[in-house]
Amino acid sequence: MQEKWKRWNTSSRKWLWIMVLIGLVAALTVAYDRLQTERSSKTVEIVFDYRDLVDAASYRANPQDYIAQQLDRLKSAGVQSMAVSESTLEDLRKSRRVMLWGSTDAATLTEGVVQENANYTYVLFTNGDNYKALAPIIKQTFSDLEISVRDWSFRGQQGLILETPIEDATLKPMQPDPLMIETLRAKGFSIVPRLLDSLAYNQESTEKLVQYYESINVKRILFEGESVKGFNDNEDLNSLDAFASLLKEHGMGIAVIENLKKQQNGFNKLAYKLDYNVARLYSLSETDSGLDPVVISDRFALATKDRNIRMLYLNAAPSRDLTKAQITDTLDNLITSLSDSGGAVEKIEDNGFTLGQATAAEVVDSPYQRYFKLISVIGAVALVALMVSYFIPWLTLPALIFGLIGSAGLLVLKPVLFEQALALAVAISAPTLGMVLAIRKINVLGPPLQSSDIGSNAAKKSKLGIGYTVMSPQRRFIHSLVLYVKTALISLSAVPFVVALLNNVTYSLVLEQFRGVSLLHIAPIGLVGLYVLLYRGEFTFNKTGKLLRTPITLAMVILAGVLGVLGLYYLSRTGNSGSVSSLEMSFRTFLENTVHVRPRNKEFLLAHPLFILGAFLTLKYRNAAFIMIVAVIGQLSMVDTFAHIHSPLVISLVRGLLGLGLGAIIGVVAVLAWQIAEGCWKRWSPLLKK
């Protein structure tokens, strides 16, 4: 019975391969839908923070002239939109619309006496137009907050008295300055409002605000602070749904800011209510606005091309320049990075994008996609079962059966957990399976096994390779290249499954993220290492026991320490937060500018060449198989590239193929170098012994 069960499990592999192939075809149809989705949004919007411009202008002798001049320069440089925050009295003071005093200063100004029980804010408008435009907004805002407002004047200028301390009054957000918006629109800028969720949600005032935004052709809204508008009052007022209905009714979307430490509260729910009318935004910080213009332009070009960023947000900040003994800002630097020859605008347009108001991707969801996804799930489970079969053959069928049952259960109970878990499992399995099959092929073609590999009682002439003749270098080289291509194809078979399982707009917008990146970078290395150590020959408990009984030496401890340090460094380089040196950044920029799509360094400089060299050497020197443990990094890295769902499929594919091509070239050079070195050693080593 045991032999029959083993035979069933072993013979089931061919059926598993058939299931994998059918699943691949289904997954590719889902991948095509994603490709169509990615192609639907090709407009990039460059946005400048208007509040930063006002801050910079406040340090100039003629602030209004400076603002007008810089607006013209920014428009000419390619900036289409201005981000406008909700105004505060402090903003209006900086823009010279109003003057502000507390009770004590107002008493001094009017040569009066301070009232003992009145700590108010005195607002004086700098001209009649400012009063007409801003007084109704201020009155409405503070009346809604149940703060008394009354008229006041001084020397013929109209003003208001707000019955709240100036420290409190300057914090209250109001509708953006309409005079400022008129000026910006006259200059040809679109408006991108930034909303706070600091005050109690009021549907009536919010509706008026959204209607006003629609009248000035606002298409997308940003949020300031830790939450989206309506989140704080959602439990009591259902305000998120109400706000979403307003935005949807008036044709407005929102923007998600890349690389926030914590997503703004309520954003995911609001995005869902808006049917994911969301654009991704990259924000260049005030600090980074002083970087070299070439670096900034490269960042913008890469963000739009490689990460589906459709809004570029520019910040600037004034600073004290002691060498010039004056207050400076980074506006000149930003304008240079955008408009110079080879600048960001030119690069973005060369990459096939147009400048304008950002649009969300139109999600393509073909009628039969859910059925193709289901077939893809079966194929993915079969691929995982195949990988299991080469380590524990008698678990092949149980792995398939329990994998299908578990998938069905998770799909119903925890669909997000299910798609991520299965995507991770198949991403680990494919490169591991590819490397295991390559090593098995080398075992067949390569040098004979030693008796220690197969157990002294089982040593046979066929396994010991009596009469074996070492292949010629030419044959070993050809076999190495063939194995390189076959292994890459098996590893890449995971890609359609990962794409199909994670084909959801929430991953493209990074509202959901693929978990387990660190495990993906470790597990295949560990599994291939296990196979090289214990499965080359016949896996026996005697062999495992012998390994466990091996005395630990100082050399082993040092080696383990070195491997641990290398492992930590390797893990520090994985994921989006991996650290990169300035030298490597320069090399990356060179590759990007040279080949347009940058292949991964660890693939074409390390792992892929090591695969070719390792296979070439192992076909002659059996213990060279340990090189293949490192070579698996290239295989898993190719799969990991496609696990970055926010990167376009075409870019990921080109990156992987470039890595394979360049890695093959370097691998061929490494083999030639080895052959030359080996020839020199054979020729000169006898002379050294004399």
The Cα–Cα gap between 429 and 422 comes to: 10
Output the six-digit token pair for 1: 């019975």
Residues β-bridged to residue 191: 82
Residues β-bridged to residue 523: none
**Torsion angles phi and psi, residue 77, rounded to 5:** -75, -15
The Cα–Cα gap between 24 and 493 comes to: 7
pLDDT for residue 457: 44
Q: Which residues of the chain have pLDDT under 50?
A: 455-462, 464, 539-541, 576-578
The Cα–Cα gap between 137 and 159 comes to: 13
What predicted TM-score, i.e. pTM, was given to this entire model?
Answer: 0.86
Which helix (DSSP H) or strand (DSSP E) does residue 683 occupy? helix 649-689
Residue 354: count of CB within 10 angstroms of its CB = 9
- In angstroms, the Cα distances linking 390 to 10, 348, 380 are 9, 48, 16
The Cα–Cα gap between 184 and 68 comes to: 9
pLDDT for residue 93: 92
3-class DSSP state of 580:
coil
pLDDT for residue 685: 66
- Under 8 Å CB-to-CB from 281, ≥6 apart: which residues? 47, 222, 255, 256, 257, 258, 309, 310, 311, 312, 313
Residue 329: count of CB within 10 angstroms of its CB = 24
pLDDT for residue 549: 60
The Cα–Cα gap between 234 and 390 comes to: 53
Task: For 281-326, give the DSSP string.
Answer: EEEE-TTGGGS-HHHHHHHHHHHHHHS---EEEE----EEETTTTE
Residues β-bridged to residue 566: none
pLDDT for residue 9: 74
Which helix (DSSP H) or strand (DSSP E) does residue 85 occupy? strand 81-85
Residue 571: count of CB within 10 angstroms of its CB = 14
